[in-house]
Amino acid sequence: MKQTEALDLSAEALWRYSLQRYQSSRLQEQLLQLQDQYSGHVNLALVCLWLDDLKLKLTQTSLTELEQSLTETHSYLVSLRTTRRLLRTHVSPEQYQQLLDIEITLEKQQQQCLVKCLSHLKLNQHAKPRNYTNYLKYLGIDS
pLDDT, one tens digit per residue, over 16-70 is: 999 999 999 999 999 999 999 999 999 999 999 999 999 999 999 999 999 999 9
What is the number of structural domains in the chain? Answer: 1
143 within a domain of the structure (yes/no): no
97 within a domain of the structure (yes/no): yes
71 within a domain of the structure (yes/no): yes
pLDDT in tens, 67-99: 999 999 999 999 999 999 999 999 999 999 999
28 within a domain of the structure (yes/no): yes
In the chain, DSSP assigns E strands to 56-57, 124-125
CA-CA distance, 127 to 69, in Å (whole number)? 26
pLDDT of residue 7: 85
25 within a domain of the structure (yes/no): yes
Residue 106 confidence class, pLDDT cut points 50, 70, 90: very high
Q: What is the model's pTM?
A: 0.92
Residue 88: Cβ within 10 Å count: 12
Range of the domain at 121: 4-138
pLDDT of residue 142: 82
Angle at which helices 71-87 and 93-118 cross, to 10°? 160
pLDDT in tens, 126-140: 999 999 999 999 999
89 within a domain of the structure (yes/no): yes
Residue 143 confidence class, pLDDT cut points 50, 70, 90: low
User: By C-alpha distance, which of 83, 53, 54, 73 is closest to 113?
Assistant: 73
46 within a domain of the structure (yes/no): yes
Mean pLDDT of the residues in the chain: 93
126 within a domain of the structure (yes/no): yes
- Is residue 41 within 8 A of residue 67, CB to CB? The reply is yes
Give yes or no for residue 4 having a pLDDT over 60.
no
